[in-house]
Chains A and B, each alone.
Chain A
Amino acid sequence: MLPRLLLVLSILINISYSISFYLTNRETKCLSDYLAEGELLIGEFSIDPIRREGIDDGVITTVSDPTEETVYDKNVDNGKFAFTSPENGEYVFCFKNEDDLEKTVKFNTHSGVKAKDYSDIVKKENLKPLEAKLKRLEDLARETLERYHEVRSMEDDIYNDNRGTTSNAFWFGILLTIILVGMAFWQMFHLKSFFQKKKMF
């Protein structure tokens, strides 16, 4: 029972990475992360020192998604959130200190495979810690390969766009030159026949 519990605990407490920063009085700091459509994002934050009831106004934490809609807006000392990205774009995390005293924000965020919770799979398939690690590694490697394919196809698209733009620029240059020369000649001949009609020549 206890080893099982420790095992489950060990997979759950896997977000030990985080960054911390100070918020001076009344300061707002924002961080952002770029996500592709359909990617999972999880985040966790904690504010220190803890808010004193009735005295402090706390820190307002807001998260807005790539469509610029606010998806999280709370004034708490500890919070968690999870979202699936609706489109390619940035998630913006803002921390607004409503008090005069300096606060420390501890924050971490993960996306894609790193955001995935493996505790269910561990329980279902009865995995040892090493096996769980390898499973995660397997998923991570697969995700990396998928992303790499995206990178390659995007580079192809960009290359084609650039070739198209270059050749467009060339042909437009020729077109404009033809128009310029053509209009010049048309002008001359038109005016010449105009003056001839007016018997000025």
Chain B
Amino acid sequence: NGITALLRPGDEECFFDESGTGEEIHGTFSVTHGESPVNVKIFNPSDLVVLDLIDTMEDAYTFMALQDGYYTVCFKSNSNELQTIEFSLHIGDDVTVKNVMKEDHLTPISNSVNTLKRGVNELNEQTKYHRNRLIRHKKTTQSTGSRITWWSLTQAFVLIALSLTQTWIIKNLFEKKRNV
């Protein structure tokens, strides 16, 4: 979970998944490449807009499905450059068994475990997202540091070379004049 999609300029990319009535739908998204905010729309199985987020760079949403069917989330680009969006879409309990009876679904401890599981899942995803971003930050920082060093040394070299050249040229001018 936490997958990245490419959003071309002016394009709209939509993703959908099936939900049952009463299931909790939870999603996140974040523009990971590109400076321009996006418009996000979520449609219910009757094609009505459930959520409409305009000009946003990152957000999260949670709502209850009131119908059975496919819920769609669409990302629309407002920019004229390529962007990438990292997003996740959870419907109900991820680790669910469909059509197989769960033995201990009704005990209090199993409810607590489910709540715990949701919390840990979320924490796990957020940490993964954070770590991935930091890996990229680290690369940028390191390259900035080395660029400053390289550029400063080049400047120093250019200054010295320029100064020596100037002096030599001026000396030359006066040498020639003398001879003439």
Binding site for B on A (CB under 8 A): 6, 9-10, 13-14, 16-22, 29-34, 36, 88, 90, 109-114, 128-130, 133-134, 136-137, 140-141, 143-144, 147-148, 150-151, 154-155, 157-158, 161-162, 164-165, 168-169, 172, 175-176, 179-180, 183-184, 186-187, 190-191, 194-195, 198, 200
Which label, helix, strand, loop or mixed, suits the secondary structure of the B interface?
A: helix
B131 touches which one: A33, A113, A147 (CB < 8 A)?
A147
Q: How far is the CB of B162 from chain A (nearest CB, A)?
A: 8
> What are the 4 closest A-B residue pairs judged by CB atoms, nearest first?
A172-B152, A183-B163, A165-B145, A147-B127
- A17 neighbours in B (Cβ, 8 Å): 1, 17, 89-91, 94
Secondary structure of the A side of the interface?
helix
Q: How large is the interface on B (under 10, 10 to 19, 20 to 34, 35 or more residues)?
A: 35 or more
Given A133-B117, A137-B116, A154-B135, the answer on whether A187 and B167 have CB atoms closer than 8 Å is yes
Q: Is the CB of B171 within 8 A of A176?
A: no
Query: Does any Cβ of A come within 8 Å of B156's Cβ?
Result: yes
Interface residues in B81-123 by Cβ distance below 8 A to A read 84, 89-91, 94-98, 100-104, 109-110, 113, 116-117, 120-121, 123
Task: Determine whether the beta carbon of B14 is less than 8 Å from that of A21.
Answer: yes
Which chain A residues lie closer than 8 Å to B144 at the CB level? 165
Report Cα–Cα, A168/B151, bound state, in Å: 11
Extra inter-chain contacts (14) besides given A13-B100, A176-B156, A191-B167, CB under 8 Å: A6-B100, A9-B97, A10-B100, A16-B95, A31-B4, A33-B2, A136-B95, A144-B127, A161-B141, A162-B141, A172-B148, A172-B149, A176-B152, A191-B171
Inter-subunit contact B134/A154 (CB<8 Å) = yes
In the assembled complex, B46 has its CB within 8 A of some CB on chain A: no
Question: Nearest Cβ in chain B — how far from A170, in angstroms?
Answer: 10
What's the minimum C-beta distance from A2 to chain B, rounded to whole angstroms? 11
Write out the residue numbers on chain A whose beta carbons fall within 8 Å of the beta carbon of B101. 6
Whole-angstrom distance between the alpha carbons of A164 and B110 in the complex? 51
Residues from chain B with a CB closer than 8 A to the CB of A150 are: 131
